[in-house]
Amino acid sequence: MAVTEKKMRVAALALLLGLVACAPAAPEHRLRARFGEMQAAVEKGQAGDFMEGVSPDFTGESGMDRAALHNLLRARMLADSHLGVTTGPLEVVVQGDNATVAFDVVLTAGNGRLLPDQARAYRVTTAWRTEDDEWRVYHARWNGTP
């Protein structure tokens, strides 16, 4: 009898672990993954892939909309063959289907030499929401840091 009870407990534990493994990723984990994908897209020069994470009704600094952001990104990618994006720790706050992500970032640009031709640091705060079960940034504000 004790062997059967033990087998039932092991089976229940295995089932529970299986359910946990199949559960959808936590919202913050999915958001951080999306952020990483967008960062990688910039570094690979893939503006379209980056824009997949941007909401159709995006707004940014000085009235920038989604189209203006896309044009800015494409122009930078055409002007500089190597763009670098180095972020500090992400400060993520998720509240249901909305989130904010704040971070410091250093953007570098150059033509593939050992050292970048340009570098600029910014403090960025972004607002995110889930759209069609995907995290997308719908607002961003930034300012240069000394």
pLDDT in tens, 9-30: 555 545 545 544 444 569 999 9
Better pLDDT: 81 or 35: 35
Give the CATH number, domain containing residue 50.
3.10.450.50
Q: Let me know if residue 21 belongs to a domain.
A: no
Q: Let me know if residue 100 belongs to a domain.
A: yes
Q: What pLDDT does residue 122 have? A: 92
Q: Let me know if residue 118 belongs to a domain.
A: yes
Q: Let me know if residue 17 belongs to a domain.
A: no
* Domain total of the chain: 1
Are residues 66 and 93 in contact, defined by beta-carbon separation less than 8 angstroms?
no
Q: What pLDDT does residue 4 have? A: 62
Range of the domain at 62: 26-144
pLDDT in tens, 32-79: 999 999 999 998 999 999 999 999 999 998 889 999 999 999 998 888
Q: Let me know if residue 1 belongs to a domain.
A: no
Better pLDDT: 146 or 123: 123
Q: Let me know if residue 32 belongs to a domain.
A: yes
Better pLDDT: 116 or 95: 95
